[in-house]
């Protein structure tokens, strides 16, 4: 049985990490290790991991604050498997997640395989966030696996993408030399994570990396009339439309709406600033 390595990056997500680790320990595919790279968490992350007392877990604390791509590369360099699976601390892989990924990786000449990601629950409002990938093509590290040899062929994750889109940049570069398959049965549930002021601002700051991605790879298919994320632009121009853009299910959802406007405004400013600095026309 081929050996697989699961890499998880986490920061102050111990509340969600417990379900993630429990689900991975219950996998039908048994020949694997789990490499957890802790981005200097201040919560109970280390205590939670050591409480499992599993010899499958390898825990590393990183204090360098060098960004997501660096942390993922660190995990790859520490891995022993020839097959590298990525998921996130706020995700719950289903019990056959590794098995379904390995079926594709060992049976087809793909460099990697992307799985399907859905929300853990549909009972959500604007005050929580999650990731979904129903039909593939987004290549997010919440649910993807690669043959390690291809990661090295493209020199791993590019560390210029320190905040986000390092996963999409990697996939684009791998697609130049091979193909990435899709398996809808390689399923991950994404937990509903409450927005905070810090996480909203962090989300807005990711805009810089997205502009760089479009310029570097001519990835214009995510543009519409040279506009990046038309929804956020509309929200900035017409803030009174915010209640119609988001699902309101609680009082907290109402409180978060002004912060969503702030997020959209910061996001848009960063897009324009980066486009100007990069001499790249985008709205």
- Locate the domains of the chain by residue range: 4-194, 197-277
Query: What pLDDT sits at residue 66?
Result: 85
Q: Mean of the pLDDT values across residues 98-127?
A: 96
Number of helices and strands (H, E) in the chain?
11, 12
* Half-sphere exposure at residue 223, Cβ-oriented, CA atoms within 13 angstroms: 16
Q: What is the CATH superfamily name and number for domain 4-194?
A: Spore Coat Polysaccharide Biosynthesis Protein SpsA; Chain A (3.90.550.10)
Query: What pLDDT sits at residue 229?
Result: 87
Binning pLDDT at 50, 70 and 90, where does residue 107 land?
very high
Distance CA 62, CA 54 (A): 21
Residue 182's H or E segment, with its range, is: strand 180-190
CB 98 within 8 A of CB 32: yes
Mean of the per-residue pLDDT values of the chain: 94
Binning pLDDT at 50, 70 and 90, where does residue 155 land?
very high
Query: Based on C-alpha coordinates, what's the Rg of the chain?
Result: 19
Distance CA 103, CA 86 (A): 16
CA 133 to chain centre: 11
Whether residue 112 has pLDDT greater than 90: yes
Query: What pLDDT sits at residue 283?
Result: 83
Whether residue 18 has pLDDT greater than 90: yes
Whether residue 135 has pLDDT greater than 90: yes
* Half-sphere exposure at residue 14, Cβ-oriented, CA atoms within 13 angstroms: 15
Whether residue 100 has pLDDT greater than 90: yes
């Amino acid at each position: 049985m081929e050996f697989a390595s699961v890499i998880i990056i986490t920061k102050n997500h111990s509340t969600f990490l417990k379900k993630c680790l429990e689900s991975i320990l219950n996998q039908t595919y048994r020949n694997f290790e789990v490499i957890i790279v802790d981005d200097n968490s201040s919560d109970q992350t280390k205590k939670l991991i050591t409480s499992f007392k599993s010899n499958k877990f390898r825990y590393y604390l990183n204090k360098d604050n060098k960004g997501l791509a660096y942390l993922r590369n660190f995990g790859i360099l520490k891995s022993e498997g020839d097959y590298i699976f990525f998921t996130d601390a706020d995700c719950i892989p289903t019990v056959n997640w590794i098995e379904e990924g390995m079926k594709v990786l060992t049976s087809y000449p793909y460099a990697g395989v992307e799985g399907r990601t859905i929300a853990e629950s549909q009972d959500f409002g604007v005050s929580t966030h999650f990731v979904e990938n129903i039909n593939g093509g987004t290549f997010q590290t919440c649910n993807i696996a690669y043959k390690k040899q291809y990661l090295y062929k493209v020199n791993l994750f590019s560390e210029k993408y320190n905040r986000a889109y390092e996963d999409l940049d990697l996939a684009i570069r791998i697609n130049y030399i091979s193909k990435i398959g899709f398996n809808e049965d390689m399923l991950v549930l994404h937990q509903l994570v409450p927005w905070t002021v810090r996480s909203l601002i962090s989300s807005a700051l990711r805009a810089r990396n997205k502009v760089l991605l479009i310029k570097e790879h001519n990835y214009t298919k995510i543009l519409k009339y040279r506009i990046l994320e038309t929804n956020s632009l509309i929200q900035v121009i017409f803030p009174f439309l915010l209640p119609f853009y988001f699902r309101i299910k609680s009082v907290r959802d109402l409180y978060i709406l002004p912060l969503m406007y702030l997020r959209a405004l910061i996001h848009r400013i960063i897009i324009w600033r980066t486009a100007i600095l990069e001499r790249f026309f985008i709205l």
